[in-house]
Chain A
Amino acid sequence: MANTPISVTVDQVTYEDDVEPRTLLVQYLREQLGKTGTLIGCDTTNCGACTVHLDGQSVKSCTMFAVQADGHDVTTIEGLAQDGDLHPMQQAFHEKHALQCGFCTPGMIMQSIALLQENPNPTEQEVREGLEGNLCRCTGYQNIVAAVQAAAGAGSAAGTQSEEGAA
Protein backbone atom coordinates (compact mmCIF):
# COMPACT_ATOMS: atom_id res chain seq x y z
CA MET A 1 0.00 0.00 0.00
CA ALA A 2 1.19 3.46 -0.83
CA ASN A 3 2.69 5.60 1.87
CA THR A 4 0.93 8.84 2.72
CA PRO A 5 2.72 12.15 3.17
CA ILE A 6 2.06 13.93 6.46
CA SER A 7 3.14 17.15 8.08
CA VAL A 8 3.02 17.08 11.86
CA THR A 9 4.36 19.47 14.44
CA VAL A 10 5.70 17.56 17.42
CA ASP A 11 7.07 19.41 20.44
CA GLN A 12 7.33 22.58 18.39
CA VAL A 13 9.26 21.02 15.50
CA THR A 14 7.50 20.40 12.18
CA TYR A 15 8.20 17.11 10.45
CA GLU A 16 7.40 16.14 6.87
CA ASP A 17 7.25 12.38 6.50
CA ASP A 18 5.80 9.54 4.47
CA VAL A 19 4.05 6.97 6.61
CA GLU A 20 2.20 3.75 6.04
CA PRO A 21 -1.50 4.43 6.77
CA ARG A 22 -1.56 1.68 9.40
CA THR A 23 1.21 3.37 11.42
CA LEU A 24 -0.17 4.33 14.81
CA LEU A 25 0.63 7.82 16.02
CA VAL A 26 2.56 6.35 18.96
CA GLN A 27 4.62 4.18 16.61
CA TYR A 28 5.41 7.22 14.51
CA LEU A 29 6.48 9.19 17.58
CA ARG A 30 8.66 6.43 18.97
CA GLU A 31 10.06 4.68 15.93
CA GLN A 32 10.26 7.40 13.31
CA LEU A 33 10.95 10.44 15.49
CA GLY A 34 12.72 8.60 18.29
CA LYS A 35 10.49 10.16 20.93
CA THR A 36 10.47 7.14 23.19
CA GLY A 37 9.28 9.14 26.17
CA THR A 38 5.74 8.27 25.10
CA LEU A 39 5.16 4.66 26.09
CA ILE A 40 3.00 1.85 24.79
CA GLY A 41 1.34 0.07 27.68
CA CYS A 42 -1.63 -1.99 26.62
CA ASP A 43 -1.84 -1.10 22.92
CA THR A 44 -5.62 -1.44 23.18
CA THR A 45 -6.80 1.99 24.33
CA ASN A 46 -7.16 1.02 27.96
CA CYS A 47 -4.16 2.12 29.99
CA GLY A 48 -3.42 5.70 28.87
CA ALA A 49 0.39 5.36 29.01
CA CYS A 50 0.54 6.66 25.42
CA THR A 51 -1.38 9.88 26.16
CA VAL A 52 -0.19 12.95 24.21
CA HIS A 53 -1.83 16.26 23.39
CA LEU A 54 -3.26 16.86 19.93
CA ASP A 55 -3.90 20.57 19.47
CA GLY A 56 -3.85 20.87 23.25
CA GLN A 57 -6.36 18.07 23.93
CA SER A 58 -5.35 14.75 25.42
CA VAL A 59 -5.64 11.69 23.19
CA LYS A 60 -4.40 8.13 23.30
CA SER A 61 -1.75 7.89 20.62
CA CYS A 62 -2.12 4.12 20.28
CA THR A 63 -5.70 4.63 19.14
CA MET A 64 -4.99 7.00 16.31
CA PHE A 65 -3.16 6.66 13.03
CA ALA A 66 -0.28 8.99 12.27
CA VAL A 67 -2.11 10.02 9.08
CA GLN A 68 -4.93 11.33 11.27
CA ALA A 69 -2.49 13.69 12.98
CA ASP A 70 -1.55 15.25 9.64
CA GLY A 71 -1.66 19.03 9.93
CA HIS A 72 -2.02 18.91 13.70
CA ASP A 73 0.14 19.90 16.62
CA VAL A 74 1.32 17.19 18.98
CA THR A 75 2.87 17.71 22.41
CA THR A 76 4.55 14.76 24.09
CA ILE A 77 6.09 14.37 27.52
CA GLU A 78 9.40 15.29 25.87
CA GLY A 79 8.11 18.72 24.93
CA LEU A 80 7.12 19.83 28.43
CA ALA A 81 10.40 20.90 29.99
CA GLN A 82 11.60 24.31 28.86
CA ASP A 83 15.30 25.20 28.88
CA GLY A 84 16.01 22.42 31.32
CA ASP A 85 13.26 23.39 33.74
CA LEU A 86 10.67 20.75 34.41
CA HIS A 87 7.04 21.58 33.70
CA PRO A 88 5.26 22.32 37.01
CA MET A 89 3.36 19.06 36.69
CA GLN A 90 6.57 17.10 36.21
CA GLN A 91 8.02 18.91 39.20
CA ALA A 92 4.96 18.05 41.29
CA PHE A 93 5.18 14.37 40.33
CA HIS A 94 8.83 14.45 41.34
CA GLU A 95 8.24 16.18 44.66
CA LYS A 96 5.22 14.10 45.65
CA HIS A 97 6.88 10.87 44.54
CA ALA A 98 3.89 10.17 42.31
CA LEU A 99 5.45 7.14 40.67
CA GLN A 100 7.09 3.85 41.39
CA CYS A 101 7.97 1.94 38.23
CA GLY A 102 7.29 5.01 36.10
CA PHE A 103 5.67 3.30 33.16
CA CYS A 104 2.35 5.11 33.45
CA THR A 105 4.01 8.42 34.32
CA PRO A 106 4.34 10.12 30.91
CA GLY A 107 0.68 9.50 30.11
CA MET A 108 -0.38 10.33 33.65
CA ILE A 109 1.39 13.70 33.46
CA MET A 110 -0.04 14.54 30.05
CA GLN A 111 -3.59 13.74 31.21
CA SER A 112 -3.06 15.63 34.46
CA ILE A 113 -2.09 18.75 32.52
CA ALA A 114 -5.18 18.38 30.33
CA LEU A 115 -7.28 17.91 33.45
CA LEU A 116 -6.08 21.21 34.97
CA GLN A 117 -6.68 23.02 31.70
CA GLU A 118 -10.35 22.11 31.98
CA ASN A 119 -10.60 22.40 35.74
CA PRO A 120 -7.79 24.45 37.33
CA ASN A 121 -8.77 23.65 40.93
CA PRO A 122 -10.14 20.12 41.03
CA THR A 123 -11.28 18.32 44.14
CA GLU A 124 -9.68 15.02 44.95
CA GLN A 125 -12.70 13.25 43.45
CA GLU A 126 -12.46 15.33 40.29
CA VAL A 127 -8.79 14.45 39.94
CA ARG A 128 -9.60 10.77 40.26
CA GLU A 129 -12.37 11.04 37.67
CA GLY A 130 -10.19 13.09 35.35
CA LEU A 131 -7.54 10.38 35.42
CA GLU A 132 -10.02 7.54 34.88
CA GLY A 133 -8.44 6.66 31.56
CA ASN A 134 -4.95 6.20 33.00
CA LEU A 135 -4.05 3.04 34.85
CA CYS A 136 -1.25 2.73 37.42
CA ARG A 137 -0.42 -0.69 38.82
CA CYS A 138 2.04 0.49 41.49
CA THR A 139 1.05 3.52 43.44
CA GLY A 140 -2.57 3.09 44.36
CA TYR A 141 -2.93 6.60 42.90
CA GLN A 142 -2.60 8.38 46.25
CA ASN A 143 0.54 10.33 45.42
CA ILE A 144 -0.56 10.93 41.85
CA VAL A 145 -3.67 12.67 43.11
CA ALA A 146 -1.56 14.59 45.62
CA ALA A 147 0.80 15.71 42.85
CA VAL A 148 -2.00 16.98 40.63
CA GLN A 149 -3.51 18.90 43.51
CA ALA A 150 -0.09 20.31 44.41
CA ALA A 151 0.43 21.41 40.81
CA ALA A 152 -3.03 23.00 40.82
CA GLY A 153 -2.20 24.82 44.03
CA ALA A 154 1.06 26.02 42.52
CA GLY A 155 -0.98 28.13 40.12
CA SER A 156 -2.81 27.78 36.86
CA ALA A 157 0.55 27.90 35.08
CA ALA A 158 0.67 24.16 35.61
CA GLY A 159 -2.17 23.75 33.22
CA THR A 160 -1.28 26.22 30.57
CA GLN A 161 2.45 26.53 30.21
CA SER A 162 3.76 25.40 26.82
CA GLU A 163 0.33 24.43 25.56
CA GLU A 164 -1.22 27.71 24.49
CA GLY A 165 1.60 28.83 22.24
CA ALA A 166 1.80 25.47 20.55
CA ALA A 167 -1.79 25.36 19.29
Chain B
Amino acid sequence: MKPFAYDRATDADGAVATVTADPDAMFVAGGTNLVDHLKLGLVTPEHLVDVSRLPLDQVTEREGGGLRIGATVRNADLAAHPLVRQLYPVLSHALLAGASGQLRNVATTGGNLLQRTRCAYFQDVTAACNKRDPGSGCAALSGWTRYHAILGTSSDCLAAHPSDMAVAMVALDAEVVVLGPDGERRVALEHFHRLPGDRPDLETVLEHGELITAVEIPPLAMARRSAYRKVRDRASYAFALVSVAAALDVQDGVVRDVRLALGGVGTRPWRARVAEEALVGGPATEAAFAEAARAELAAASPTDDNAFKIPMTRSTVVAVLSGLAGEETR
Protein backbone atom coordinates (compact mmCIF):
# COMPACT_ATOMS: atom_id res chain seq x y z
CA MET B 1 0.00 0.00 0.00
CA LYS B 2 1.22 3.47 -0.86
CA PRO B 3 2.14 5.50 2.22
CA PHE B 4 -0.10 8.39 3.19
CA ALA B 5 -0.32 11.02 5.90
CA TYR B 6 -3.06 10.57 8.50
CA ASP B 7 -5.00 13.10 10.53
CA ARG B 8 -7.88 12.56 12.89
CA ALA B 9 -10.49 15.28 12.52
CA THR B 10 -11.83 16.87 15.68
CA ASP B 11 -14.49 19.03 14.02
CA ALA B 12 -16.40 18.75 10.77
CA ASP B 13 -15.54 22.24 9.50
CA GLY B 14 -11.87 21.57 10.02
CA ALA B 15 -12.08 18.25 8.20
CA VAL B 16 -13.82 19.91 5.26
CA ALA B 17 -11.22 22.71 5.16
CA THR B 18 -8.33 20.22 5.22
CA VAL B 19 -9.64 18.03 2.41
CA THR B 20 -10.86 20.98 0.33
CA ALA B 21 -7.35 22.50 0.41
CA ASP B 22 -5.62 19.28 -0.66
CA PRO B 23 -6.62 17.64 -3.96
CA ASP B 24 -4.84 14.45 -2.90
CA ALA B 25 -6.70 14.13 0.40
CA MET B 26 -9.66 11.86 1.15
CA PHE B 27 -11.97 11.31 4.07
CA VAL B 28 -11.97 7.94 5.81
CA ALA B 29 -14.57 6.78 8.33
CA GLY B 30 -15.08 3.04 8.95
CA GLY B 31 -12.80 2.25 6.04
CA THR B 32 -14.51 -1.05 5.26
CA ASN B 33 -14.47 -0.27 1.55
CA LEU B 34 -11.64 2.27 1.32
CA VAL B 35 -9.00 0.16 3.07
CA ASP B 36 -9.47 -2.59 0.51
CA HIS B 37 -9.27 -0.04 -2.31
CA LEU B 38 -6.00 1.27 -0.91
CA LYS B 39 -4.63 -2.28 -0.84
CA LEU B 40 -5.76 -2.90 -4.40
CA GLY B 41 -4.34 0.42 -5.59
CA LEU B 42 -7.70 1.66 -6.88
CA VAL B 43 -7.21 4.98 -5.13
CA THR B 44 -3.91 6.53 -4.06
CA PRO B 45 -4.52 9.45 -1.70
CA GLU B 46 -1.54 11.23 -0.16
CA HIS B 47 -3.52 12.16 2.89
CA LEU B 48 -6.38 10.57 4.82
CA VAL B 49 -8.55 12.62 7.15
CA ASP B 50 -10.31 10.33 9.64
CA VAL B 51 -13.82 11.58 10.37
CA SER B 52 -14.97 8.50 12.26
CA ARG B 53 -14.72 10.17 15.66
CA LEU B 54 -16.63 13.33 14.80
CA PRO B 55 -19.72 13.75 16.99
CA LEU B 56 -22.05 12.60 14.22
CA ASP B 57 -22.95 9.24 15.74
CA GLN B 58 -26.49 9.87 16.96
CA VAL B 59 -29.92 8.94 15.63
CA THR B 60 -32.43 11.62 16.66
CA GLU B 61 -36.09 12.32 16.03
CA ARG B 62 -36.69 15.37 13.87
CA GLU B 63 -39.18 18.03 14.85
CA GLY B 64 -42.36 17.17 13.02
CA GLY B 65 -41.38 13.54 12.63
CA GLY B 66 -38.83 11.46 10.86
CA LEU B 67 -35.25 10.70 11.80
CA ARG B 68 -31.90 12.36 11.48
CA ILE B 69 -29.13 9.78 11.22
CA GLY B 70 -25.62 11.03 11.88
CA ALA B 71 -23.08 10.17 9.20
CA THR B 72 -20.90 8.12 11.53
CA VAL B 73 -23.69 5.98 12.98
CA ARG B 74 -22.51 2.42 12.45
CA ASN B 75 -24.61 0.16 10.26
CA ALA B 76 -25.10 -2.34 13.12
CA ASP B 77 -26.30 0.39 15.48
CA LEU B 78 -28.66 1.83 12.89
CA ALA B 79 -30.17 -1.57 12.11
CA ALA B 80 -30.75 -2.22 15.81
CA HIS B 81 -32.09 1.24 16.65
CA PRO B 82 -35.59 0.95 18.17
CA LEU B 83 -37.00 3.86 16.16
CA VAL B 84 -35.65 2.49 12.90
CA ARG B 85 -37.10 -0.93 13.62
CA GLN B 86 -40.44 0.58 14.56
CA LEU B 87 -40.84 3.34 11.97
CA TYR B 88 -38.80 2.06 9.02
CA PRO B 89 -38.36 -1.72 9.24
CA VAL B 90 -37.34 -1.76 5.55
CA LEU B 91 -34.18 0.12 6.52
CA SER B 92 -33.30 -2.26 9.33
CA HIS B 93 -33.88 -5.28 7.09
CA ALA B 94 -31.77 -3.80 4.29
CA LEU B 95 -28.87 -3.07 6.63
CA LEU B 96 -28.94 -6.58 8.06
CA ALA B 97 -29.01 -8.04 4.55
CA GLY B 98 -25.69 -6.36 3.79
CA ALA B 99 -22.13 -7.47 4.51
CA SER B 100 -21.39 -9.36 7.74
CA GLY B 101 -21.58 -8.63 11.45
CA GLN B 102 -17.95 -7.55 11.61
CA LEU B 103 -18.36 -5.03 8.80
CA ARG B 104 -21.68 -3.69 10.07
CA ASN B 105 -19.97 -2.97 13.39
CA VAL B 106 -17.56 -0.63 11.62
CA ALA B 107 -19.19 0.66 8.42
CA THR B 108 -20.86 4.06 8.74
CA THR B 109 -24.02 5.58 7.28
CA GLY B 110 -22.14 8.12 5.19
CA GLY B 111 -19.58 5.59 4.06
CA ASN B 112 -22.25 3.10 3.03
CA LEU B 113 -23.70 5.69 0.64
CA LEU B 114 -20.23 6.24 -0.83
CA GLN B 115 -19.22 2.60 -1.18
CA ARG B 116 -18.15 1.79 -4.68
CA THR B 117 -19.20 -0.83 -7.14
CA ARG B 118 -18.04 -4.43 -6.82
CA CYS B 119 -17.66 -4.71 -10.61
CA ALA B 120 -14.73 -7.14 -10.91
CA TYR B 121 -13.17 -5.05 -13.67
CA PHE B 122 -13.31 -1.88 -11.58
CA GLN B 123 -11.49 -3.72 -8.80
CA ASP B 124 -8.80 -5.09 -11.13
CA VAL B 125 -6.25 -2.40 -11.94
CA THR B 126 -5.11 -4.35 -15.00
CA ALA B 127 -8.58 -4.19 -16.62
CA ALA B 128 -10.00 -1.35 -18.68
CA CYS B 129 -12.44 0.69 -16.59
CA ASN B 130 -13.88 4.11 -17.37
CA LYS B 131 -14.87 4.54 -13.74
CA ARG B 132 -11.38 3.98 -12.35
CA ASP B 133 -9.41 5.30 -15.31
CA PRO B 134 -11.58 7.58 -17.48
CA GLY B 135 -11.28 6.91 -21.18
CA SER B 136 -9.65 3.50 -20.78
CA GLY B 137 -12.75 1.61 -21.90
CA CYS B 138 -15.04 -0.88 -20.17
CA ALA B 139 -13.95 -4.49 -19.86
CA ALA B 140 -17.42 -5.45 -18.67
CA LEU B 141 -18.94 -4.66 -22.07
CA SER B 142 -17.27 -7.78 -23.45
CA GLY B 143 -16.88 -9.52 -20.11
CA TRP B 144 -18.82 -11.39 -17.45
CA THR B 145 -21.81 -9.34 -16.35
CA ARG B 146 -24.02 -11.52 -14.15
CA TYR B 147 -23.79 -8.96 -11.35
CA HIS B 148 -24.02 -5.84 -13.50
CA ALA B 149 -26.79 -3.31 -13.86
CA ILE B 150 -29.66 -3.35 -16.33
CA LEU B 151 -31.09 0.09 -15.51
CA GLY B 152 -29.27 3.40 -15.91
CA THR B 153 -26.34 1.89 -17.81
CA SER B 154 -24.42 3.62 -20.59
CA SER B 155 -22.09 2.53 -23.37
CA ASP B 156 -19.24 3.42 -20.99
CA CYS B 157 -20.30 1.62 -17.78
CA LEU B 158 -22.56 -1.18 -16.57
CA ALA B 159 -21.49 -1.21 -12.93
CA ALA B 160 -24.23 -1.82 -10.36
CA HIS B 161 -24.44 0.19 -7.17
CA PRO B 162 -23.82 -2.28 -4.34
CA SER B 163 -25.56 -0.78 -1.31
CA ASP B 164 -28.58 -2.36 0.37
CA MET B 165 -29.01 0.48 2.87
CA ALA B 166 -29.25 3.10 0.14
CA VAL B 167 -32.01 1.20 -1.65
CA ALA B 168 -34.17 1.34 1.46
CA MET B 169 -33.29 4.98 2.05
CA VAL B 170 -34.09 6.05 -1.50
CA ALA B 171 -37.48 4.38 -1.17
CA LEU B 172 -38.03 6.43 1.99
CA ASP B 173 -37.30 9.80 0.30
CA ALA B 174 -34.12 10.29 2.33
CA GLU B 175 -32.13 13.50 2.09
CA VAL B 176 -28.36 13.68 2.38
CA VAL B 177 -27.00 16.55 4.48
CA VAL B 178 -23.68 17.73 3.08
CA LEU B 179 -21.17 20.12 4.61
CA GLY B 180 -18.88 22.04 2.28
CA PRO B 181 -16.50 24.97 2.59
CA ASP B 182 -19.43 27.36 2.06
CA GLY B 183 -21.78 25.70 4.51
CA GLU B 184 -24.47 23.06 4.47
CA ARG B 185 -26.69 21.86 1.64
CA ARG B 186 -29.20 19.09 1.20
CA VAL B 187 -29.54 16.68 -1.66
CA ALA B 188 -32.35 14.22 -2.20
CA LEU B 189 -30.75 10.77 -2.09
CA GLU B 190 -32.55 10.00 -5.35
CA HIS B 191 -30.33 12.62 -7.02
CA PHE B 192 -27.21 12.09 -4.92
CA HIS B 193 -25.73 9.37 -7.13
CA ARG B 194 -25.16 10.21 -10.78
CA LEU B 195 -25.96 8.01 -13.72
CA PRO B 196 -22.71 6.95 -15.40
CA GLY B 197 -23.34 8.54 -18.81
CA ASP B 198 -20.00 9.30 -20.42
CA ARG B 199 -18.37 10.07 -17.02
CA PRO B 200 -18.71 6.94 -14.87
CA ASP B 201 -15.87 8.26 -12.71
CA LEU B 202 -18.21 10.96 -11.35
CA GLU B 203 -20.33 8.88 -9.00
CA THR B 204 -22.08 11.42 -6.80
CA VAL B 205 -22.89 15.11 -6.79
CA LEU B 206 -20.33 15.71 -4.01
CA GLU B 207 -17.56 18.17 -4.76
CA HIS B 208 -14.06 17.40 -3.52
CA GLY B 209 -13.96 18.30 0.18
CA GLU B 210 -17.69 18.01 0.79
CA LEU B 211 -18.57 15.77 3.73
CA ILE B 212 -21.79 13.89 4.43
CA THR B 213 -22.81 14.82 7.97
CA ALA B 214 -26.24 13.18 8.18
CA VAL B 215 -29.09 11.47 6.37
CA GLU B 216 -32.61 12.62 7.13
CA ILE B 217 -35.71 10.52 6.59
CA PRO B 218 -39.10 12.22 6.54
CA PRO B 219 -42.10 10.78 8.37
CA LEU B 220 -43.96 8.12 6.40
CA ALA B 221 -46.74 6.36 8.27
CA MET B 222 -47.05 3.44 5.85
CA ALA B 223 -43.35 2.65 6.28
CA ARG B 224 -44.18 0.96 9.59
CA ARG B 225 -45.13 -1.92 7.35
CA SER B 226 -42.35 -2.01 4.82
CA ALA B 227 -40.07 -4.74 3.60
CA TYR B 228 -36.75 -5.48 1.96
CA ARG B 229 -36.09 -8.63 0.00
CA LYS B 230 -32.67 -9.50 -1.38
CA VAL B 231 -32.16 -12.24 -3.95
CA ARG B 232 -28.62 -13.54 -4.30
CA ASP B 233 -26.54 -16.50 -5.39
CA ARG B 234 -26.16 -17.78 -1.83
CA ALA B 235 -28.32 -17.20 1.19
CA SER B 236 -26.04 -14.75 2.95
CA TYR B 237 -22.90 -12.68 2.59
CA ALA B 238 -23.30 -11.91 -1.09
CA PHE B 239 -24.26 -8.87 -3.10
CA ALA B 240 -27.74 -8.66 -4.53
CA LEU B 241 -28.66 -10.00 -7.91
CA VAL B 242 -31.92 -8.19 -7.30
CA SER B 243 -33.30 -6.49 -4.24
CA VAL B 244 -36.59 -4.73 -3.60
CA ALA B 245 -37.46 -2.16 -0.92
CA ALA B 246 -41.11 -1.28 -0.59
CA ALA B 247 -43.78 0.32 1.54
CA LEU B 248 -47.43 -0.01 0.60
CA ASP B 249 -50.70 1.57 1.66
CA VAL B 250 -53.76 -0.34 0.49
CA GLN B 251 -57.37 0.46 1.29
CA ASP B 252 -60.33 -1.56 0.06
CA GLY B 253 -58.10 -3.35 -2.37
CA VAL B 254 -56.82 -0.15 -3.96
CA VAL B 255 -53.25 1.13 -3.75
CA ARG B 256 -53.41 4.52 -2.04
CA ASP B 257 -49.67 5.06 -1.91
CA VAL B 258 -46.49 3.12 -2.51
CA ARG B 259 -42.72 3.48 -2.29
CA LEU B 260 -40.62 1.16 -4.37
CA ALA B 261 -36.88 0.96 -4.97
CA LEU B 262 -34.59 -1.62 -6.55
CA GLY B 263 -31.06 -2.78 -5.81
CA GLY B 264 -28.62 -4.93 -7.76
CA VAL B 265 -30.14 -3.82 -11.06
CA GLY B 266 -29.35 -0.11 -11.19
CA THR B 267 -26.21 1.93 -11.68
CA ARG B 268 -27.46 3.82 -8.66
CA PRO B 269 -29.95 2.97 -5.90
CA TRP B 270 -32.99 2.78 -8.15
CA ARG B 271 -36.20 4.53 -7.20
CA ALA B 272 -38.89 2.88 -9.29
CA ARG B 273 -40.96 5.96 -10.07
CA VAL B 274 -42.54 4.52 -13.21
CA ALA B 275 -43.82 1.52 -11.30
CA GLU B 276 -45.07 3.70 -8.43
CA GLU B 277 -47.09 5.87 -10.81
CA ALA B 278 -48.54 2.80 -12.46
CA LEU B 279 -49.63 1.41 -9.10
CA VAL B 280 -51.25 4.36 -7.35
CA GLY B 281 -55.02 4.27 -7.66
CA GLY B 282 -55.02 0.80 -9.16
CA PRO B 283 -55.90 -2.58 -7.72
CA ALA B 284 -53.56 -4.25 -5.23
CA THR B 285 -53.34 -7.46 -7.21
CA GLU B 286 -50.46 -9.61 -8.34
CA ALA B 287 -51.32 -8.82 -11.94
CA ALA B 288 -51.13 -5.08 -11.28
CA PHE B 289 -47.86 -5.46 -9.39
CA ALA B 290 -46.35 -7.43 -12.28
CA GLU B 291 -47.59 -4.88 -14.79
CA ALA B 292 -46.02 -2.03 -12.80
CA ALA B 293 -42.71 -3.89 -12.63
CA ARG B 294 -42.91 -4.47 -16.38
CA ALA B 295 -43.41 -0.75 -16.93
CA GLU B 296 -40.37 0.08 -14.84
CA LEU B 297 -38.26 -2.51 -16.62
CA ALA B 298 -39.25 -1.35 -20.09
CA ALA B 299 -36.16 0.86 -20.01
CA ALA B 300 -33.82 -2.00 -19.05
CA SER B 301 -30.89 -2.85 -21.29
CA PRO B 302 -29.58 -6.22 -20.13
CA THR B 303 -26.71 -8.31 -21.43
CA ASP B 304 -26.94 -12.00 -22.26
CA ASP B 305 -25.44 -12.69 -18.81
CA ASN B 306 -27.95 -10.68 -16.81
CA ALA B 307 -31.19 -10.73 -18.82
CA PHE B 308 -32.48 -13.09 -16.12
CA LYS B 309 -32.69 -10.06 -13.86
CA ILE B 310 -35.76 -8.79 -15.71
CA PRO B 311 -38.07 -11.67 -14.73
CA MET B 312 -36.29 -11.97 -11.38
CA THR B 313 -36.95 -8.30 -10.60
CA ARG B 314 -40.57 -8.63 -11.69
CA SER B 315 -41.10 -11.69 -9.52
CA THR B 316 -39.43 -10.12 -6.52
CA VAL B 317 -41.49 -6.93 -6.82
CA VAL B 318 -44.66 -9.03 -7.00
CA ALA B 319 -43.59 -11.11 -4.00
CA VAL B 320 -42.73 -8.12 -1.82
CA LEU B 321 -45.79 -6.05 -2.71
CA SER B 322 -48.10 -9.07 -2.35
CA GLY B 323 -46.65 -9.74 1.06
CA LEU B 324 -47.26 -6.16 2.15
CA ALA B 325 -50.76 -6.14 0.65
CA GLY B 326 -51.52 -9.36 2.52
CA GLU B 327 -50.46 -7.76 5.79
CA GLU B 328 -52.69 -4.79 5.08
CA THR B 329 -55.79 -6.89 4.70
CA ARG B 330 -55.19 -9.08 7.74
Q: How many residues of A contact B (CB 8 A)?
A: 33
List residues of B (1-39) whose CB comes within 8 Å of A's CBs: 1-6, 8, 31-32, 35-36, 38-39
List residues of A (37-64) whose CB comes within 8 Å of B's CBs: 43-45, 48, 51, 54, 57-60, 62-64
A44 CB contacts on chain B under 8 angstroms? 36, 39-40
Are A45 and B32 in contact (CB-based, < 8 A)?
A: yes
Known contacts A22-B2, A132-B237; A111/B35 CB under 8 A? no
Which residue of the partner chain A has the closest CB to B238? Answer: A132
Are B102 and A68 in contact (CB-based, < 8 A)?
A: no
Are B1 and A64 in contact (CB-based, < 8 A)?
A: no
Q: What's the interface size class on B, roughly?
A: 20 to 34
Are A65 and B31 in contact (CB-based, < 8 A)?
A: yes
Known contacts A22-B38, A63-B36, A64-B31; A51/B5 CB under 8 A? no
Per a CB cutoff under 8 Å, which of A20, A58, A64 touches B101? A58
Are A64 and B106 in contact (CB-based, < 8 A)?
A: yes
Known contacts A1-B5, A2-B5, A133-B237; A68/B103 CB under 8 A? no
Tell yes or no: A4 within 8 A of B by CB.
yes
Are B4 and A133 in contact (CB-based, < 8 A)?
A: no
A115 CB contacts on chain B under 8 angstroms? 101
Are A133 and B6 in contact (CB-based, < 8 A)?
A: no
Interface residues of B (CB under 8 A from A): 1-6, 8, 31-32, 35-36, 38-40, 48, 50, 52, 76, 99-103, 105-106, 236-237
Q: What 5 A-B pairs have minimum CB-CB distances, sorted nearest first?
A: A133-B100, A21-B6, A132-B237, A132-B236, A1-B3
Interface residues of A (CB under 8 A from B): 1-2, 4, 20-22, 24, 43-45, 48, 51, 54, 57-60, 62-65, 67-68, 70, 111, 114-115, 128-130, 132-134
6 contacts between A and B (CB under 8 A): A21-B3, A22-B4, A57-B105, A63-B35, A64-B31, A64-B106
7 new A-B contacts, CB < 8 A, other than A1-B4, A59-B102, are A1-B3, A21-B6, A60-B106, A64-B31, A65-B31, A132-B101, A132-B237
